Amino acid sequence: MKIAIAGAAGRMGQMLIRRIAATEGCSLAGAIEAAGSNVLGRDASEVAGLEKGGVKITGDSAAAIGAANVVIDFTVPAATVAHAGIAAEKGVAMVIGTTGLDPQQTALIHAAAKKVPIMWAANMALGVNVLMALVEKTASMLDPGYDIEVLEMHHRHKIDAPSGTALALGRSAAAGRKVELEKVWRKSRDGHTGARPTGEIGFATLRGGEEVGVHTVYFASAGERLELTHRSFSREGYAMGAVMAAQWLKGKKPGLYGMKDVLGL
């Protein structure tokens, strides 16, 4: 499995390169960074803290993606959409971990998935995906009298809020209740908001330090509170899930897949 990494010099990109090196049957085929990056031309494996591997970081996305069977992208929405278009043109599968895409950008990912298989997930850590399944099941078992709140905390550098994982957990809860999240969510509260409506799914966001990611879903009633929590201590879990997804895509038909498909949840 020849894999290209978009955002190869970033923290997640470096972790992915190390994971590929440690995974039997996988090799790094391309490494992409933005034009003007000070790491262009450097050996990607060396930047990731490994011995030189012979793949240099490039700003030529088309060449890097074209050399691979699959490209893994944890970058920013505009870059991810551009890479999806290239992958679709070249017949290369794609794993996407980018969040914060707007409806127009999301539609372009869906269009690319008509030509190549794409696995897109807000969070690829195995534990988080088990948590999503648990949240959906719990929401289906408890009546709407239980208030649902999703609390998340990430490092100070994260650019979107609520996190894509928090929104995915909210969607899991909404699916359990058989409602559309957009019709019942409250993404933030400020000022005189009044009493909390029954059935609302709320979100709270914390940012600070170098926190990799903490997500807690609260089910609160008048007499008790159930909490389901996942905490990431490093990005290794995300990288492991992403490389697993890349391997899983081999031979798959064009379409948009999720980690539920990869894990058989």
Q: Give catalytic residue positions.
A: 154, 158
Q: Which string of DSSP letters, residue by residue, matches 200-260?
A: -EEEEEEE-TT--EEEEEEEE-SS-EEEEEEEESSTHHHHHHHHHHHHHTTTPPSEEE-HH
Interatomic CA distance for residues 168 and 153, integer angstroms = 15
Inter-residue contact 37 to 59 (CB < 8 Å): yes
Structure-token pair, residue 54: 């012979």
Distance, in Å, from the CA atom of 131 to the CA atom of 119, rounded to the nearest integer, reads 19
Which tokens go with 66? 């074209």
Distance separating alpha carbons of residues 78 and 12, to the nearest angstrom: 17
